[in-house]
């Protein structure tokens, strides 16, 4: 299975991007690619010309089309979705909506005790409106991330095990969605 990871954080030392790299480690039998959304321009229909999008947007949309499943890792900014991630989702949803029908799961890490629940719920709602097939359970809200990551890796054993179980469930769910 080809899984596209999409991190809502642009930081080099992002816990959420590290979470996607951890997913790749925990899913060795699958092809895992992490998208770079940092070069996407802000959504502006004036940038669409003759049915084409800016080059960075075309690349991102092609990655989604080529993926069998999507794994979103989102930080929480001001109790909501980070602007870069919302921008990426908005570009992907421009007609034709390349997100429609894709199986997806959410995860996230933050320093707070609530993890990224306040970002994941509005992201889940947005993706649902766009006909993304969302994994419902288990949910992964990693709080206290400063104590669970080291040197760009998720090191907390209990969290890694729980995340690994979610990923197994996600792969099985994605296979069912793809079979229709």
At what angle are helices 83-93 and 117-129 packed, to 10 degrees? 10
The pLDDT assigned to 65 comes to 98
Q: What is the pLDDT of residue 70?
A: 98
pLDDT score of 180:
79
Q: How far apart, in Å, are the Cα atoms of 34 and each of 37, 67, 95?
A: 9, 11, 23
* DSSP per position, 122-168: HHHHHHHHTT-EE--SS-EEE--GGGTEETTEE--HHHHHHHHHHHH
Task: Encode pLDDT of 101-149 as tens digits.
Answer: 999 999 999 999 889 999 999 999 999 999 999 999 999 999 999 999 9
- What pLDDT, on a 0 to 100 scale, did the predictor assign at position 98? 98
| Domain CATH for 122 | 3.40.50.360
Quote the domain boundaries for residue 26.
2-179
Q: Which two tokens stand for residue 163?
A: 């995340």
**Predicted confidence pLDDT, tens digits, the chain (180 residues):** 999 999 999 999 999 999 999 999 999 999 999 999 999 999 999 999 998 999 999 999 999 999 999 999 999 999 999 999 999 999 999 999 999 999 999 999 999 988 999 999 999 999 999 999 999 999 999 999 999 999 999 999 999 999 999 999 999 999 999 987
Per the structure, the count of domains in the chain is 1
d(C-alpha 70, C-alpha 63), whole Å? 10
């Amino acid at each position: 299975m080809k899984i596209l990871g999409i991190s809502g954080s642009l930081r080099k030392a992002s816990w959420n991007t590290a979470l996607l790299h951890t997913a790749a480690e925990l899913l060795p039998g699958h092809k895992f690619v992490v998208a770079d959304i940092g070069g996407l321009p802000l959504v502006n229909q004036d940038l669409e010309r003759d049915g084409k999008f800016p080059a960075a947007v075309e690349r991102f949309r092609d990655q989604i089309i080529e993926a069998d499943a999507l794994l979103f890792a989102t930080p929480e900014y001001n109790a909501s979705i980070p602007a870069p991630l919302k921008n990426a989702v908005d570009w992907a949803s421009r007609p034709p909506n390349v997100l429609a029908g894709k199986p997806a799961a959410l995860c996230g890490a933050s320093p707070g005790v609530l993890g990224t629940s306040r970002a994941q719920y509005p992201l889940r709602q947005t993706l649902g409106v766009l006909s993304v097939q969302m994994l419902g359970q288990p949910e992964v809200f990693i709080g206290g991330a400063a104590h669970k990551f080291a040197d760009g890796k998720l090191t907390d054993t209990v969290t890694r095990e729980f995340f690994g179980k979610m990923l197994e469930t996600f792969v099985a769910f994605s296979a069912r969605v793809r079979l229709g």
